[in-house]
Structure 1
Amino acid sequence: MGQRLRLALFTVVALVQLTVAGGAIVRSELALRTGEAFRFRIQPVDPVDAFRGRYVAIRFAIANPNPVPLTRPSRSGTR
């Protein structure tokens, strides 16, 4: 292949890659700017796992068909 053909092919491939990456960025930015904010009622859970250590899990009330009242104290051994 000639030097000019290699340079042209490299330029085309680089522009395609930049266009794909730029399109993904633009889509994400548009979603952030024009998207609608949602508010969810959550129930925090603070478990301790032998393998993962301490971490915080969040339960969304909308995902739980039988929600537990947030004011009820947790029973020993369950959270």
Structure 2
Amino acid sequence: MVTMTEQAPLAELSFEQARDELQQVIVRLEQGSPSLEESLGLWERGEALARHCEEWLVGAKRRLDAARASTDAPAAEDS
């Protein structure tokens, strides 16, 4: 399990890596942490991971929308 000091920077994480780490954070929070400080650190990391995943999903949606628009454009011109 990754400790708080071994965490990779968010920018280096793929969507899948961030999602998996977020799942680990949730499990650790549900089990209860030994200290309030650790719980707060886990919560903050979880929030950052959730934002990172959201950014990945928004970016993927933009790419899909752009791909759909580019494939729809020639069909509209043919009409």
- The TM-score normalised by the length of structure 2 is 0.42
Structure ranking higher on relative contact order (CA contacts 8 Å, 6+ apart): 2
For the pair shown, the structure with the greater C-alpha radius of gyration is 1
Give 1 or 2: higher strand fraction.
1
Q: Could you tell me the TM-score, scaled by structure 1's length?
A: 0.42
